[in-house]
Amino acid sequence: MTAQEFDFDEQIDRAEVPALKPHRIVLGADGSHLFPAGVADMDFKAPPPVLDAMRKRLEHGVFGYETVPDGLMPALTGWMKTRHGWHVDQEHILRAPNVLNSLAIAASLFTSQGDGIIVQPPVFFDFYDVIAENHRRLVSNPLIEKDGRYVMDYDGLQQLAADPHTTMLYLCNPHNPVGRVWKRSELQRLAGICRANNVLVVSDEIHGDITFPGHPYTPFASLGDKDALNSITCLSPAKSFNIASCCSAFTIIVDEARRKAFQAENSRLTVNKNNAFASVAIEAAYRHGGDWLDAALDYIAGNLAVVRDELAALPQVTLIEPEGTFLVWLDFRALELTPADLTAFLRSRAGWAVTSGAVFGEQGTGFARLNIACTRARLTAALEQLKRAVVSLH
């Protein structure tokens, strides 16, 4: 199948299933007419080889207890090697139900109650909940925004990491919501500070496959042996192939003692079952989903170009140019609205249901996160609505 044969323009009614993005839980009871662009998944069907593999599995008809298929881990390691040049030892991989589960288990096992966990806001809001719900202390090292581009604050990191009660860092690589795909040199600097201060890096790489040309993803554990040992990598096919509801992910732990402890905790929590549909979907995705992903990335890049062009004519709204992810960070600060007023304005005047920047940390005040993994027609119409709404303000 060639890239042209995937139909990303197909408008699929996601409300036919209990999809979260258009659900009243997210949009509110009165929000069914809004452009649903908050929840971080795609509006596209999963890759055809994934659908075929699931159909075949369905037709088998028996869904009794299963173990992990022999081909699953080699499919993942093969993908990482060919796509990202990263050698992952199969022995280091543990199955996980989802990435947040791995972040939570890592915090509970490898930090003590009250210990600090560093995050770099504005950052994925669920990091905050995981830290709070595990009774750890949030240690905030905000990114620095310079001319519309975000960089890490290494001096701040050095100071915070020096506290012996700050023992872990949640890295978002690539970074949701600001769209940075961290460069090797940036990761190396962060890694050096963390190693020198005994801060374990838990790297959430769920967006790793979704990068734009010129911005290759660098797996944190590929920096070198010492950093591989001082890290836990959380991987998932959920974003790459739009299969989040299959609920399956991977935790990669090179350090043997930590891996054994994690495995024991998975066992204690009985997080060690195989979901038949998830396994066949993931294996098919990693073995045969590359062309589809390339085509999806092309389409998303095309959508980004539309956002760029449309916003060029709207000086009140600034696009923070993403290097990866299908999430776009928009700067509405020129409108001088509070987060609540910005959300209300976007809903009522532009018909947009996007994620308020403020939920990513106070640094996100005045921003909103737009999901562009939707049909181009839907996105173009939404941008027209936004333009009319902003113009009507003056």
Task: Work out which of 100, 232, 252, 317 binds ligand PLP, going by CB under 6 A.
Answer: 100
Task: Work out which of 193, 201, 228, 249 binds ligand PLP, going by CB under 6 A.
Answer: 249
Dig out the tokens for 29 from the structure: 């009871």
Q: Restricting to residues 166-185, name those near ligand PLP by CB under 6 A.
A: 172, 176
Q: Restricting to residues 113-152, name those near ligand PLP by CB under 6 A.
A: 124
Stretch that binds ligand PLP, among 92-100, 157-165, 313-321, 364-372 (CB under 6 A): 92-100
Stretch that binds ligand PLP, among 44-52, 106-114, 213-221, 236-244 (CB under 6 A): 236-244
Closer by beta carbon to ligand PLP, 40 or else 42: 40
Peptide bond into 315 cis (omega under 30): no
Closer by beta carbon to ligand PLP, 20 or else 306: 20
In the complex, minimum distance from the CB of residue 172 to ligand PLP, in angstroms, rounded to a whole number: 5
236 sits near ligand PLP (criterion: CB under 6 A): yes
In the complex, minimum distance from the CB of residue 44 to ligand PLP, in angstroms, rounded to a whole number: 16
Q: Restricting to residues 193-232, name those near ligand PLP by CB under 6 A.
A: 204, 206
Binding-site size, ligand PLP (CB under 6 A) = 13
Closer by beta carbon to ligand PLP, 41 or else 310: 41
Stretch that binds ligand PLP, among 72-80, 98-106, 215-223, 329-337 (CB under 6 A): 98-106
In the complex, minimum distance from the CB of residue 182 to ligand PLP, in angstroms, rounded to a whole number: 13
Q: Which residue is nearest to ligand PLP (CB)?
A: 98
In the complex, minimum distance from the CB of residue 365 to ligand PLP, in angstroms, rounded to a whole number: 20
Q: Specify the pairing of strand 166-172 against strand 149-151.
A: unpaired
Binding mask 36-75 for ligand PLP (x = CB under 6 A): ----x-----------------------------------
Compute φ and ψ for 98, nearest 5 degrees: -165, 170
Interface ranges with ligand PLP (CB under 6 A): 40, 98-100, 124, 172, 176, 204, 206, 236, 238, 244, 249
